[in-house]
A and B are shown apart, each in its own frame.
Chain A
Amino acid sequence: MPWTRDSNTIARIALGLAAFAPLAGCKASAPGKSETRTITFAKHHIFVGNKNQKNPLPNNAQTLVDGKEAFTHYCVACHGLDGQNTGVPFADRMAPPVPSLASPEVQQYTDGQLKWILDNGIWPSGMPASKGTLSDEELWSIVVFIRHLPPAGSLGEPEMYTH
């Protein structure tokens, strides 16, 4: 079944995606509109699990501070300090591109799904699996930060790209 992510399934997905590759010539270029629509639907409704799990951490200022701290140490290289790609030179030159975490595409996931993405990553994008690299507490606090992102550009650019 397509929504169990075992190696057979992955092979099938790979073949499906490989069908697009000759059209792109393997270069990292932006996907087309219908490809984006299809994959977005598939991610939200089929591939990304854990829909119903609720965030065990309280939705308060302390958790937000913790989430921002963890995000800043670990996620900023690709997502920018504000989660909206500010200052990240290659965000739109990856295939698939790095989405703005403030976009409806990302915000429409449930908290549990966001946690799933943080735990497992998204293949074949550059989003890595972080289960075990960050603790469950840190990952859940990042989910809270994603729900309360600062205004785009308000935190400046990641230092690694500006000094």
Chain B
Amino acid sequence: MTTAVRLMATVKKMLNTTLGEPMKLRSRLLTKLPLLKFPLLLALAIAFVSAHAQGAPKRIEVTAHRFNFSPAEITLKKGEPVVLVLKSTDVAHGLRFRDLHVELNVRAGSSTEVTFTPDKTGDFTGHCSVFCGSGHGSMALKLHVTE
């Protein structure tokens, strides 16, 4: 009996010396953990509220196919970020607004997107920027940017 007890004591001592430090650290951390709960919750709450206060950027989907964009006309607000998604249902197309320095290229049958913020008001015309056939030059998308 005493041998067993002594053996246990030795094993415990060994564990304490080899794993002693880390085990002590871990137990120290574990005791501190409840203190982290509050700041963590606070950080999460702030992130949640701010994301909803701004709103996630509006997504606008434009479908390109020979030889038009649909919708053919969109309206955006100056200063508001927007995700412009360009989809092609046939060949490769592009969409370029020269004055807004925005250009997307989409592969055949694929989809692509860009996030941008219109920085001026007015009416802009986007053209297809990837040669796609005989009607390529007449593909246009009217963009109105309002205050």
Contacts and interface: CB of A to CB of B under 8 A. Distances in A.
Nearest to A62: B98
Interface residues of A, number: 13
A135 B131 contact: no
B98 A134 contact: no
Interface stretch (A16-24, A33-41, A77-85, A125-133): A125-133
Contact of B135 (A132, A136, A138): A132
B interface secondary structure, majority: mixed
B128 interface: yes
Contacts of A70: 131
A132 B138 contact: yes
Contacts of A132: 134-135, 137-138
A10 B136 CA distance: 28
A92 interface: no
A163 interface: no
B137 A131 contact: yes
B135 A73 contact: no
A73 B131 contact: yes
Interface of B: 98, 127-128, 131, 134-140
Given A70-B131, A135-B137, A138-B137, 19 more contacts: A74-B131, A131-B137, A132-B134, A132-B135, A132-B137, A132-B138, A133-B134, A133-B136, A134-B131, A135-B127, A135-B136, A135-B138, A135-B139, A135-B140, A136-B137, A137-B98, A137-B127, A138-B127, A139-B137
Interface of A: 70, 73-74, 130-139
